[in-house]
Homo-oligomer: A and B are copies of this chain.
Amino acid sequence: MAKPSIPKGTRDFSSQEIAKRNYITQIIKTNFEKFGFQPIETPSFENSDTLMGKYGEEGDRLIFKILNSGDYLTKVNDYLFNLKGYVDRIFNEEKILEHYKLNFESLFLKSDNIDKKLYYENIELFISKIINSFNSSIIDNEVMSFLNRLKFDVDVLDRLLIIFNNLREFETYKGKQLKSDLERNSRQIINKNLNLYINKVTSTISEKALRYDLTVPFARYVVQHQNELEFPFKRYQMQPVWRADRPQKGRFREFVQCDADVVGSQSLWQEIEFIQLYDTVFSALGLVGTTIKVNNRKILSGIAEVIGAKDKLIDFTVALDKLDKIGVDGVVKEMLEKRISQQAIDKASVLFDFKGGNTDKIVALSELLKDSEEGTKGVEELSFIFETITALGLDKSILTLDVTLARGLNYYTGAIFEVQAPEVALGSVGGGGRYDDLTGIFGSKNNMSGVGISFGLDRIYIVLEELGLFPENVAQASKVLFTNFGQDEALYAFKAIAMLRAKGIKAEFYPDNAKLGKQFQYAEKKGIPFVVVAGEQEVNDQVYNLKNLNSGEQITVNIYELIETLNK
């Protein structure tokens, strides 16, 4: 039997990895709570109609769908049974008959004598005969007889016979070709219709899907429970999400998202708090010089407006956002491809090399956008953010204005954040922004404004690993292992272990009476720093032989000394 495996893009986590992940999530969680956020949890799978259509065209394709239980088979059965009839109408003998009918019709209907009624009533039968009986001389006679009754002119008849003979040859030669042509055409017809049909089948056989992110479930939660919630409503959520992306380095099909959002207030003080939250968390993780990039959707709109490319906002921002990755030439090329005029690009070119400190940039943008009402509003919002953060100060992070920042997602309406770790070349380790009308996607007319951020757990893990920032004792195995000398000694050991555990000390008992060397090896491999040997002698003396595996030191102690030593 082949060794078992797990699906691509998924991971098992060992205790070591869990300890490190928990180290990160614990710091995030603690600070979420210090900033007044409280957790909620939503189900792993939502109703399909909650998730579908919320993530753009690509999104639906990447959502994992759950097959209905039980009755799924019967429903598909019925669909497939109907499909038989459906497909039959496309691909059956009629198609073949159709082909011949077209060939003969022109000939038959030219004749004035022909009894058209008779013709139409019998043509299919007539052709069936031909198809079914190429090799039988009898059929020729029947055809003749039939044709006689149709009162054909003799010359038409002659021509018909010629056609018939030709047809027979045609069929023998072309028969296979024709059949496969028909099959292929039918397959295309079927495929084209079946895709629509299958989408319908999919929605019949699957009514639930796995979470793709935490934002849509959050919106659903807010609308569903709106009568029970206090607004502004602040929540954090740290749960796995699932995406059918092609797995890559750092990209998984199951990963944990760490989100904090607040809905129900337009106050920019919330943007201030989120910047502080990013700063506090990344400083606590030991990252010095984390860059918190900020932009504003209104500024991007304003720029598109003043350069005369307002209708091309998305294409413009998508291209601009790639400046880091593809450089000025790449960005210009893409903008031209999307038919943004050279003139507009020239006007925007100041952004491609936006120098100076945050204040200089604000001044420059203020000037650039002075004729755009929306752009000016965006500049005011960013000004407030920069002035306030300057007044309050940051710990170890740096706040910077990045006018090229767009972050793909279309729903940001104000501030846009993205966080870059120092030193390690990686994608962002966090991001977020302001959005209006989150709950509108679920029919709520509240038009609630919200703002939220996310931490990229897996990327942060990579950064801490690379920079050696995980604490040394992050994964703590048991403190002490008691060796096993057999029944009587075991009871003695168990009594001591119970007392140690009552004092909060992690203690283990080696379950089998194996060779001492093997038991010590177990302790070493598991990183257990102390071993207690308590054989017959020790039981008699009511003591414990305690060995420190790191220092090699060995002492004999009573129970209280044992507790004291291990508690240090």
Residues of A within 8 A of B (CB): 1-7, 10-15, 18, 31, 33-36, 38-47, 50, 61-62, 64-67, 69-70, 73, 76-77, 80-81, 83-84, 87-88, 91, 121-122, 125, 128-129, 132-133, 136, 138, 145, 149, 187, 190-191, 194-195, 198-199, 201-202, 205-208, 210, 220-221, 223-225, 228, 230, 232, 234-235, 240, 242, 244, 254, 262, 265-267, 269-270, 272-273, 276, 280, 388, 391-392, 442-443, 475, 477-478, 484, 490-491, 494-495, 498, 501, 504-509, 511-512, 522, 525-526
Residues A6 and B230 in contact, CB atoms below 8 Å apart = no
Across the interface, which residues of B come within 8 angstroms of A280, CB to CB?
Answer: 501
Residues A34 and B230 in contact, CB atoms below 8 Å apart = no
3 closest cross-chain pairs (CB), A and B: A1-B443, A36-B508, A10-B43
Residues A224 and B44 in contact, CB atoms below 8 Å apart = no
In the complex, what distance in Å separates the CA atom of A38 from the CA atom of B4? 22
In the complex, what distance in Å separates the CA atom of A136 from the CA atom of B125? 12
Across the interface, which residues of B come within 8 angstroms of A121, CB to CB?
Answer: 136
Known: A35-B508, A40-B14, A392-B494. A3 touches B67 (CB 8 A): no
Residues B198 and A262 in contact, CB atoms below 8 Å apart = no
Q: Which of A4, A478, A525 has the most CB of B within 10 A?
A: A4
CB proximity of A55 to chain B, nearest CB, Å: 14
Residues B18 and A39 in contact, CB atoms below 8 Å apart = yes
Closest to A43 in B: B10
Residues B125 and A6 in contact, CB atoms below 8 Å apart = no
Name the one of B11, B235, B262, B392 contacting A495, with C-beta atoms under 8 angstroms: B392
Known: A33-B506, A280-B501. 10 other contacts (CB 8 A): A2-B443, A6-B42, A7-B45, A7-B46, A34-B504, A44-B44, A73-B195, A77-B194, A80-B87, A270-B511
Residues A224 and B194 in contact, CB atoms below 8 Å apart = no
Across the interface, which residues of B come within 8 angstroms of A149, CB to CB?
Answer: 138
Name the one of B1, B5, B122, B269 contacting A511, with C-beta atoms under 8 angstroms: B269
Known: A15-B38, A34-B504, A69-B62. A269 touches B490 (CB 8 A): yes
Known: A66-B64, A125-B133. A12 touches B191 (CB 8 A): no
Known: A12-B42, A136-B121, A506-B33. A525 touches B443 (CB 8 A): no
Known: A491-B388, A506-B34, A511-B265. A47 touches B6 (CB 8 A): yes
Residues A254 and B38 in contact, CB atoms below 8 Å apart = no
Name the one of B36, B220, B475 contacting A478, with C-beta atoms under 8 angstroms: B36
Across the interface, which residues of B come within 8 angstroms of A511, CB to CB?
Answer: 232, 262, 265, 267, 269-270
CB proximity of A181 to chain B, nearest CB, Å: 16
Residues A4 and B224 in contact, CB atoms below 8 Å apart = yes
CB proximity of A111 to chain B, nearest CB, Å: 20
Residues A3 and B41 in contact, CB atoms below 8 Å apart = no
**Can you identify 16 A-B contacts, CB atoms within 8 angstroms?**
A4-B47, A4-B442, A6-B43, A13-B40, A35-B501, A45-B254, A66-B66, A66-B67, A67-B202, A69-B244, A80-B87, A81-B190, A84-B190, A145-B145, A262-B511, A392-B491
Closest to A3 in B: B224
Residues B7 and A208 in contact, CB atoms below 8 Å apart = yes
Across the interface, which residues of B come within 8 angstroms of A512, CB to CB?
Answer: 232, 265-267
Across the interface, which residues of B come within 8 angstroms of A494, CB to CB?
Answer: 269, 272, 388, 392
Across the interface, which residues of B come within 8 angstroms of A36, CB to CB?
Answer: 477-478, 506-509
Known: A121-B136, A525-B230. A4 touches B223 (CB 8 A): yes
Known: A36-B507, A70-B61. A254 touches B44 (CB 8 A): yes
Name the one of B13, B41, B273 contacting A18, with C-beta atoms under 8 angstroms: B41
Name the one of B13, B81, B91, B505 contacting A34, with C-beta atoms under 8 angstroms: B505
Known: A43-B10, A504-B34, A511-B269. A80 touches B194 (CB 8 A): yes
Residues B67 and A206 in contact, CB atoms below 8 Å apart = yes
Closest to A32 in B: B506
In the complex, what distance in Å separates the CA atom of A498 from the CA atom of B270? 14
Residues A391 and B491 in contact, CB atoms below 8 Å apart = yes
Residues B35 and A13 in contact, CB atoms below 8 Å apart = no
Residues B509 and A269 in contact, CB atoms below 8 Å apart = yes
Residues A13 and B41 in contact, CB atoms below 8 Å apart = yes
In the complex, what distance in Å separates the CA atom of A122 from the CA atom of B191? 36
Across the interface, which residues of B come within 8 angstroms of A205, CB to CB?
Answer: 67
Across the interface, which residues of B come within 8 angstroms of A11, CB to CB?
Answer: 43
